[in-house]
Each structure stands twice: as C-alpha cells, then as structure tokens.
Amino acid sequence: MAIGKKHKEAAALSSSSSPLLPADRKALLLLLLLLIVLLARPAASSDGVRYDYRAYTECKSHPEPALYNGGILRWANKVTDFRTEDDGNYSPAFVLYNMSAATVYSFSCWVKIDRPTTAHVKAKILTLANAASQCLGTALVRNDCWSFLKGGFTLNSASETSVLYFQFAIYSLQTASPNASTISIRSASLQPFSPEQWNQHREDRIQLNRKRFVNVHVADSNGSRVVGAKVAVHQITRDFPFGSAISRTILGNKLYQEWFNKRFNAAVFENELKWYATEPYPGKEDYTVADQLLQFVQANDAVARGHNIFWEDPKYTPAWVKNLTGSQLRAAVSGRIESLLSRYKGDFVHWDVSNEMLHFDFYENRLGGNATVDFFDTAKRADPLATLFLNDFNVVEVCDDLSSSADSYVSRLRQLADGGVTFEGIGLEGHFGKPNIPYVRAVLDKLGTLRLPIWLTEIDISSSFDPKTQAAYLEEVLREGFAHPSVDGIMLWTAMDTNASCYQMCLTNQNFTNLPAGDVVDKLLGEWQTKETLGTTNDRGSFNFSAFLGEYKLSVTYLNLTAEGTFSLAHSDDTKHINIRLSPSR
C-alpha cells in the first residue's frame, strides 16, 4: 500500500536527477532502493510515560533492551536482525508515518559496525516531502562491541512520511568509502512525547533535584504541639549557581552592578583572565582589571569561574607565546599557571584548564601529548580546592560536530584519566542556534554517566535570530538545563556590554531595561525561587511545603508567642524536619 506510493515518489525524484543533485536527495534515492522498509505504527497515546534518563558510554558485548520497549518502533523491533550488506551508509532505516511538528521525539539504539575498528555513526531523520534531513544523534562506534546512541528531534512541520536512517559520519557522496561495511542496529526506540509531557518530566526532576519538602513542627515552651501557629518562610540564598559573564564594563557602573547583584549568584569574566589579557607582553603581567572584577563578585557573595588558564585555539594565544618553542614555551606555560593560580588561590570555584581542547591543540601540538596532563597536575597542586574543568562548544549545541560529540568528549576525558589526570568537571559552552531540546537532554544523559559536575558555561542564542526568538529559544535551553539532574550550574554569555554589543545576546540595554532575553531570565529566576510562604500549623502542629534548595529565614507566631530561625536545604537532605519552640515575645 504505502510502499507503492513511495516507489512512485522515488521514480519522480529519479527523473529529475542530475549530477548536481543535492547530497540528501541522492541519499534519498539510494535509500529508497536499499531500504529495509519497516512501518512504524503512528504514535499511540503515551500519557504519563516518564522520560528514561538512562544512557551508556561504555561499549558492551550485548546491547541492553530497548528503552520504552521500543516506543513506536516496538513493532519494527520484532525483526531481530537489521544487518544489510551495502556500502553501510544508509541502512538499516525506519519509515515513519504521520509525524507531528508538536511532538518531541526521543531516539535511542545500540550500534555496531563491521569496519573500521571505530567510527562515528550518525542517525538522521529525513522528511520525504521536502527532502530535508537533520542529524538526531551520533555515537562513536566500534566493531567489537555495541555502543549506545541517544538523541532526539522535533520536526519543523508535520511529515506524512519520514525516514530515520544511519550513516557513517565521514560519509559524503564524493568520498564514499569503497569498502563495504555494515551498520548493525539493535534495541532501537523512538518515543514521542507531547510538549506537556516533556514539561512534566522537567517539573518532576526539579522537585527531585532542586527542591525538598520541609515540615515545620511548632511547639510551646512545654513541648506541646501548637495548632494554628502562623509560619512565614523567606528564601535568602539559592543553592543553584546561576549567573552570567561580566566584563570590565561593569566596573564603576553602579546601575549595572545593582542589576547584576539582584539576579545572579555566579559570574565569569569574559576575557579579563585570559592569558592575552593578563600578560599581553612577556613578563608584563597586569591583573588590575581581573582583581577589580573579582572584588566586585566577592562583595556580592557570588562565586566566580576561572576562565581560562589556557585556550587551545591559536587565534587567542598571545602573539608572543606563539613565537616560543620547546623549553621557552615550557617555562612560559609553567609561569602562567603558577602566577595565575598562586595569585588567586582559593578565589575561583572552577578553572577551565584547557579551553576548547576538543577543537584545537596549540599546546599539545607544540609540547607533546602530555601537555594537558601536566597542566592539570600543576593546576591541582597550585589550587587544590578548585574544581578543574574542560570547556568546549558544540557539544550540546549541534549534532554534526564530531570533534565535540558526547562520545568524543567522553573518550578524551578517559584518555586524560589514563594519563593520570583527575578531571573534575565538564564544561559545555552552549552557544546555540536553534536548540534541539531532546538532543540536548540526550547528550546530558550520556555525559551524566560520568557522574561529574556538568556546567552550562556560556549560554546564549545566536544573534541571527530576532530578540523575541532568541528569548524563546533561551527559555527552552534554560528550562532543560535547570531540570536536568546532571547539571550543576548555568552561566549566561553575557548580560550587558558597552554599546549593547554583547557577543550574541544581551539581557538588558544600557539603561537596564530588560531585553526579551532578560525578561525570560527574570521569569525563570522567579519560578526557581521559593515564593514568600505563609502557612498555619495543622491539627498536628505541623506545616509542610516544598522549597528550592538554599538558605531560609523562618518566623513563627502564635498569640503572643514567637520564634525565629534559619535553615538550609541541601541536596543531601530528605524531607527537612524543623522543630520550633515558641517563647513569649519581648
């Protein structure tokens, strides 16, 4: 039935084919010829299906069972073997009907290849009507064990017929591998979620990871529980670090300082700590601006990320450093770490040790493969209390950048660990275009398997979108980040800059009237804070409520009896029980 129709479409495409056919159209043709056609049943109602946060980063001798029992691919998975012998670029594949633009699709499967020994495999979704395809997930796959691929997508418009397929990531029509290979898929799963369900997962996770229940028990001076006592709760600080990049622009700008302090409990300096800023000429160190920024942050009781010790991108390496080789360069890098970290010992909560090392390798290139290991070693000795991070872009932002796929990141981290590095934190920059939210969640799931702190370190949305669209995308990214159990902090990039020339996105104009992105931030800050809570003890003398992690002030009154106190809610707490003893007010 439907298959006949598809062949017709294939024929139509074929007649218009030319050597200049766009790659995806050609791909489509090949696909339709080679495809194992598997009809996925349209999405059944999936009310109340919880998101499955499981992910795997180790290669396994046997694939695990499919998540969601296969979701809408359940039926297709009854075919147990998907092996197809061809050039390995387009099979196997799943044909999917009547996919909706409103639906959030989460995909996962186990993958193995015949050859080479390791390669990135991409999963893509192709919309037949307009031959548009998008990457939905990647995995670094091996030939001797099964690797887990997890990703997801939403469609720009509803699609009557779509094809979910796989290809070697290096594949292009021009350089197609002449060697036959096989991509084998097991335990494939495609689970649709409505936007409401997706939001519900976030709410559930926020309750689990960012909030706790509090039960206040009120008693009189004799220890008898008091019914009808009035309890008032006020949140003083937030546990979750949420902040923004700042630059020298904030120095001396009282209005900006107030605007910043009202909102944020964390900061990072845009450029002021970078080597080119602190030592523009050899031996001419100048920490004046960095010191002033740090003083501003500390006066606000905020935390600061140290960004960065080294930046692997040669473009941002000081010109004089680029001139150095061998022992001169070695001396210069040791000098840099020691000077920076002894000056600021204990002052920064994190150090980005090797910035963007998944994409660039200035130092390893010049100093050998152990350079990064040495950087971490030296940094750890210089500031033992700081958490040492790697930090890179295009990990959660895009699916197609293989240097920084989740698996590339994990494999680099493991390589460093083998070299003796104790890496302690994963930095994800987050310079987004249009975010693929289910993909972001899948990548966080995968990186989360390492059980290290993950920070979104430089969140913004491309200035190619108008401010309203930027704000809408920002909201999605921030909601996803705050709700994800593996994310420990979020930094924006940036708030305001001279002449409103922020890197991609400002939150406010120079008069401190919020731009749309700033309104989103304020809305979320409001949501992620416990509202002023007023309550009355019940017939057991207790009052319970749910509250965000952080520190609180509490006051209780009953007739002429009162009590005041503070408490803090931390990750490690279960429900927090607080016993309050009233005494006569003075």
Ligand X SMILES: *[C@@H]1O[C@H](CO)[C@@H](O)[C@H](O)[C@H]1NC(C)=O
**Residue 560, interface with ligand X (CB under 6 A)?**
yes
Does 61 sit near ligand X (CB under 6 A)?
A: no
Confirm if 495 and 249 have CB atoms less than 8 A apart. no
- Choose, by CB under 6 A, the member of 20, 254, 319, 384 that binds ligand X: 319
Q: Please say which residue, 29 or 371, places its beta carbon nearer to ligand X.
A: 371
Using rule CB under 6 A, residue 510 touches ligand X:
yes
Catalytic residues: 356, 458
Q: Contact between 174 and ligand X (CB under 6 A)?
A: no
Q: How far is the CB of 535 from ligand X (least distance, A)?
A: 7
**Amino acid symbol at 129:** A
Which run of H or E residues covers position 167? Answer: strand 159-168
Establish if 498 lies at the interface with ligand X (CB under 6 A): yes
CB nearer to ligand X: pick between 298 and 585? 585
Beta-carbon contacts of 252 under 8 Å, excluding residues fewer than 6 positions away, are none
By CB under 6 A, tell whether 575 contacts ligand X.
no
Residues 211/215/216/219 CA torsion (nearest 10 deg): -170
Q: Find the shortest distance in angstroms from Cβ 538 to ligand X.
A: 6
From the CA atom positions of the chain, what is the Rg in Å? 27
Choice between 79 and 385, CB closer to ligand X: 79
Q: Judged by CB under 6 A, which of 511, 526, 532, 539 binds ligand X? A: 511
Q: Please give the full DSSP string across 532-579, using - where no structure is assigned.
A: PEEEE--TTSEEEEEEESEEEEEEEEETTEEEEEEEEE-TT-SSEEEE
494 token code pair? 């940036």
Our finding on whether 415 is near ligand X (CB under 6 A) is no
- Decide if residue 542 touches ligand X (CB under 6 A): yes
For ligand X, which is the closer residue by CB, 346 or 368?
368
Backbone angles phi, psi at 488, to 5 degrees: -110, -5
Which helix (H) or strand (E) segment is 192 a member of? Answer: strand 183-193
Helices (DSSP H) in 397-464: which residue ranges? 406-418, 437-448
Rounded to the nearest 5°, which phi and psi values hold at 303?
A: -100, 155
Residue 396: CB atoms within 10 Å:
29
Task: Please state, in angstroms and rounded to a whole number, the distance separating the CA atoms of residues 115 and 261.
Answer: 55
Selected from 156, 463, 509, 546, the binder of ligand X by CB under 6 A is 509
x-or-dash pattern for ligand X, window 30-59, by CB under 6 A? ------------x-----------------
Under rule CB under 6 A, residue 195 binds ligand X: no
CB of 472 to ligand X, least distance (A): 22
Part of the chain binding ligand X (CB under 6 A), chosen from 150-158, 253-261, 442-450, 503-511: 503-511
Select from 340, 339, 419 the least CA-distant residue to 377. Answer: 419
> CB 54 → ligand X: shortest distance, Å?
29
> Packing angle between helix 254-263 and helix 516-527, nearest 10 degrees?
40
Q: Are 92 and 84 in contact (CB under 8 A)?
A: yes
Tell how far CA 332 is from the center of its chain.
Answer: 34
Task: Between 97 and 287, name the residue whose CB sits nearer to ligand X.
Answer: 97
- Is 156 among the residues that bind ligand X (CB under 6 A)? no
Closer residue to ligand X, CB minimum distance, 46 or 449: 46
The nearest distance, CB 237 to ligand X, in angstroms, is 25
User: Shortest Cβ distance from residue 500 to ligand X (Å)?
Assistant: 7
Total interface residues for ligand X by CB under 6 A:
26
Q: Measure CA 567 to chain center.
A: 31
327 binds ligand X (CB under 6 A): no
547, 233 in Cβ contact below 8 A? yes
Query: How far apart are CB 456 and ligand X at their closest, in Å?
Result: 27
Q: Which stretch binds ligand X (CB under 6 A): 269-277, 316-324, 385-393, 436-444?
A: 316-324
Residue 494, preceding peptide bond in cis (omega within 30° of 0)? yes
Stretch that binds ligand X, among 73-81, 144-152, 216-224, 389-397 (CB under 6 A): 216-224
Neighbours of 88 (CB within 10 A): 24
* String of contacts with ligand X for each residue 268-307, x by CB under 6 A: ----------------------------------------
Query: Judged by CB under 6 A, which of 207, 221, 288, 365 binds ligand X?
Result: 221
**Candidate segments 104-112, 460-468, 517-525, 537-545, binder of ligand X by CB under 6 A:** 537-545
584 binds ligand X (CB under 6 A): yes
Rule CB under 6 A: is residue 559 a binding residue for ligand X?
yes
The 8 Å CB, 24+ separation contacts for 529-534 are: 529/235, 529/238, 530/233, 530/235, 532/232, 532/233, 532/234, 533/231, 533/232, 533/233, 533/234, 534/230, 534/231, 534/232, 534/233
Q: How far is the CB of 97 from ligand X (least distance, A)?
A: 4
Nearer to ligand X, 117 or 222 (CB): 222
Q: Given candidates 323, 325, 328, 334, which one binds ligand X under the rule CB under 6 A? A: 323
Q: Which residues of 364-386 are buried (b: 16+ CB within 10 A; e: fewer)?
A: bebbeeebbbbbbbbbbebbeeb
Nearer to ligand X, 8 or 62 (CB): 8
- Count CA within 13 A, CB hemisphere, residue 226: 25
Q: Per CB under 6 A, does 179 bind ligand X? A: yes
- Give the residue, chosen from 544, 555, 557, 562, that forms a contact with ligand X under the rule CB under 6 A: 544
Is residue 118 a contact residue for ligand X (CB under 6 A)? Answer: no
Binding mask 87-106 for ligand X (x = CB under 6 A): ----------xx--------
Position of tokens 């920024």? 293
Nearest to 259 by CA among 481, 521, 530, 528: 521
Q: Which member of 370, 415, 422, 463 binds ligand X (CB under 6 A)?
A: 370
Q: Please count the residues of the chain.
A: 586
> Where does this chain bind ligand X (CB under 6 A)?
42, 97-98, 177, 179, 220-222, 224, 319-320, 323, 368-370, 498-499, 509-511, 538, 542, 544, 559-560, 584
